[in-house]
Every structure is written in structure tokens, then in C-alpha cells.
Amino acid sequence: MTTLVLTLRAPPAGVQRALALGLAVATAGCAPIDVTTRTERGPLLRTYSRPQVVAGGAQVEVRADWPTLKLTLVGFDTCRAETVEEYAEERITERTSRAAGPALATGIANVLAAGVLYGVSFAVSSVPNVSYINEAGHYGPSTQQYVQSSALITLLIGLPALAVGAIGYLRSGVDVETAKVEQVVSQKDARCNDRPAAGPVTLVGPKGAVAVKAAVDGAVDFQAAELTGAPEGIALGEVELAVDEEGQQRLWGFGACVQLERDAPKKLEMMGEGELLARAERLRQCRVVRGEAMAEPIRAVDVELSRRRETGSPGAFAPGSNVASFEEAVSAYAPKLKFANGSTDLGRLDTPEALDGQAVLLEGIVAEGMTSNIGVIQVGERQLYLFIPPRRAWGGDFGNGTRIEAVAVMAGTQTVGERTLPLARAVWMRAAF
């Protein structure tokens, strides 16, 4: 009968120390650290005022002395007074290790157990096991060797755990950083350091620049003959300047005068309804600049409109003046055509001159506002201009994207910038469908 006996021998002392140290170092990284950072505001240290000078802008004054448009530009800074509160602020960083406690307890217990086992090993027999002889002729290990081997195994378990716990405790702690912080609680801005503005001044029209000149000592003059279109805004360099209401009226009026000067001479009785109404609108805008010089041309247009009204031309009536509601407009003008998405009447827009003076029912979407009185209406895949009279009986604004319904009178075509479209003059207009 063959008996298999397992012999457990302790490794040499040098190997034991190297193995224990390696396990301790390897397991030291098993001590995860949780880091939590919070900020706490301390007491108010002081309150003070901090003056600053920041970038401001430019203001433009518009004057018109036909045929000269005179601009005065003033640049300025913004003087800012900030009320600042200064606090003490603490940044607290807490580092904790959830594994440190259990690991340290396990390590201490195992190291102590290893020490106890090692001490006990000297109280037991050191006589080899004579009942067993291995192939080399040696007797089996003694009881003392067994106990010392168990002590070594227990120590190898305890030392890494003790290292993990100790490192976790050493890396745990609280760091507090104290700093001063500022908070702006209020600020007041005031214009300051006025000075003549310099740089290229651009008159901007619906399609871009219509004239460019450099300002000298904060002033620049434009002659009507130098403009390539009607100006609607002013820019200094790349920055668009804000114009007050009075100055904007002068700017629009100057642009209307420029357009009137460039319109081809034509007798009033030869003008279509759209041309006549557009001329009347421009004359009234130009009057802001040229004053009584426009009185006679305005009177002539009014006489022609009155003549057409007396002869029964629908387009001669002032838009919206002879009706009080959308229903009355439909009843009074009895539109025979309807321009709406999918309508067969849309094909008639191919020959807008043939529709001059005809009343239409219009359903579309406001696509673009060209001027204060002319907008682009999208009807299906077609577009047309809608003239909105300055004095209208209905109220409300119709921004881009608004669906509208209108009774209108066709008035030939209208050119705004480089785009020419059929023109309809609104009699009554409302948001719809």
C-alpha cells in the first residue's frame, strides 16, 4: 500500500521578507481615496466702489440741407462705477478611505495571530516526523515547522492588509485653503469722455452700402448725387449706429428725395396706380427735408388721385379710408380674383400690368419687410409686394411669418432694389388662416 504525504517547508528567511514586502507594496494601491471639495463663504470683509472705463460707442446727429446730408459723430466711453463686496472664502478638500478601517483591523489581527503562532511554535515538539521518510531519505517536518509555516502564511495575509489600512489613514485628511473673493453687487454706467469720432462712415440701404466717406473731426457730408440708393441706416466702420427718431425721419426723407430726383420724368396721368401711390408716399417723406418745396408736387398728386376717384377708378381711393371692416372691404371692392396657395388665379401674376386696378382677395404669409410701407407676401410659390398705407384703419403689426388675409387692389409692378414684383395695395388687412 502506497501512502502520499505532502511536505510543507518554510521558504528561506530572505525569500519570506521579499515576498512580504512585495505583497505590501502591491496591495497598497488597493486603498481607494474619496475626495470631496466644497466651498464655504466666510464673513464680509469690506465693501468698496471700483471705477472703470469701458468701451462705449458713438452717437450720430443727422441734419439735412438739401442736397446735402450732414452727419456729426461723437464717440464716447462708458464710465462704470461698481459696488464690490469682498468675502473670505474657504475651499475645503476632504480625503477619506472607506477601506482603511477594515483593512487596518484585518492587518493588525493577522499580524498578532502570526506572532502568537510563532511564539507557540517553540512550545511544541521540534522532533521530525519519524513515521515518514521521503525519497531523499529525510524525515517528515516536525510540529514546530507546521506551526511556523502557519504563522508565516498568516503574516503574509496581515502585512498587506496592514499596509493598505495605514496608507489609507495617512492619505486621509482635510485641507483648507482660504482666499479673498469679490462679488459685484451693483453697477452704474454713465457716458463720459466725449470726442469727435473718426473712421469710415457708411450710408446703408436695403441692399447694402449706398455711399462711404471718412469722417473728419467727427463730421461728414454726403451730397445727393453721390448716393447710389436711398439710405436707411448709418454705420461707423463695422458698427451700425443708433439714430434717434427725428434723425431717422430726416434720413428716410433724404432717401425719398434722392429717389424722386432719379425717377424718370413722367406725367402723373400716365402713371399706374402703384407708381402714383409710391410717388405720393415719397413726396410726403421728402417734405420732412425739403419743406414747402414739396407742397406743389404733393398737391398735384392729390389732384390726380381725386380725379381718378371721381371717375370711379378703384385704385384711386385712399386705402382703407372708405371701409370700416374686412367684410365691408369685400363688399365694396367685390374682388373677382383670389390669390392663395393652389389658386388657379396665381397664373394671372405673369402679366401684372393687365391686372392694374382690379380688386383681389389675398391669402399669404409675410415673408419680408422691405420698407415701413412695403412688404413681400409669399403666396404658394409666388411672391408679390403689398403696399401698406401710412394711415390705415386697422391696427396691429404683421411680422415675418404672419399669415394674413387682405383685400387689395393690383397696381402694376414695383421695383425695390434689384427686385421687381407685382404690386398690390392693401384696402384692409388682418391675420387669418
Number of separate domains in the chain:
3
In the DSSP assignment, the letter for residue 318 is: P
Let me know if residue 405 belongs to a domain.
yes
Q: In angstroms, what CA-CA distances link 373 with 62, 252, 276, 281?
A: 22, 12, 14, 9
Check whether 16 has a pLDDT greater than 90: no
Let me know if residue 191 belongs to a domain.
yes
User: In terms of Cα–Cα distance, which of 194, 197, 227 is closest to 212?
Assistant: 227
pLDDT in tens, 145-186: 888 888 888 888 888 888 888 888 788 888 888 889 999 999
pLDDT band at 242 (very low <50, low <70, confident <90, very high): confident
Torsion sign across C-alpha atoms 260, 263, 269, 271: negative
Neighbours of 149 (CB within 10 A): 17
In the DSSP assignment, the letter for residue 84 is: E
pLDDT above 90: percentage of residues in the chain:
31
- Choose the final residue of a domain: 204, 239, 260: 260
Let me know if residue 57 belongs to a domain.
yes
Let me know if residue 294 belongs to a domain.
yes
Same domain, 305 and 167: no
pLDDT of residue 70: 95
Average model confidence (pLDDT) for the chain? 83
pLDDT of residue 165: 81
pLDDT in tens, 61-70: 999 999 999 9
Same domain, 205 and 308: no
Same domain, 111 and 81: no
Let me know if residue 181 belongs to a domain.
no
pLDDT in tens, 23-36: 555 454 556 788 88
Q: How far apart are CA 210 and CA 262, in angstroms?
A: 14
* Angle (CA) 427 429 430, round 5°: 160
**Continuous H helices in 86-134:** 100-121
Check whether 220 has a pLDDT greater than 90: yes
Same domain, 366 and 273: yes
Count, residues in the chain: 433
Same domain, 218 and 272: no
Q: In angstroms, what CA-CA distances link 11 with 15, 20, 43, 111, 112?
A: 6, 12, 64, 18, 21
pLDDT band at 251 (very low <50, low <70, confident <90, very high): very high
Q: In angstroms, what CA-CA distances link 164 with 20, 161, 174?
A: 13, 5, 19
pLDDT above 70: percentage of residues in the chain:
87
**Range of 305's domain?**
263-431
pLDDT in tens, 312-339: 454 444 444 457 788 888 887 788 899 9
| All cell numbers assigned to 2 | 502506497
Same domain, 134 and 252: no
Region for residue 237 given its phi and psi (left: phi exceeds 0; alpha: psi -120 to 50; beta: otherwise): left
Let me know if residue 2 belongs to a domain.
no
Q: In angstroms, what CA-CA distances link 281 with 133, 198, 284, 314, 417?
A: 127, 35, 5, 18, 17
Q: What is the CATH number of the domain that holds 418?
A: 2.40.50.140
Mean pLDDT, to the nearest integer, of 10-25? Answer: 51
pLDDT band at 393 (very low <50, low <70, confident <90, very high): low
113-127, 218-232, 287-301: least confidently modelled range: 113-127
pLDDT band at 22 (very low <50, low <70, confident <90, very high): low
- Choose the final residue of a domain: 229, 260, 291: 260
- Choose the final residue of a domain: 260, 293, 311: 260
Mean pLDDT, to the nearest integer, of 293-301? Answer: 90
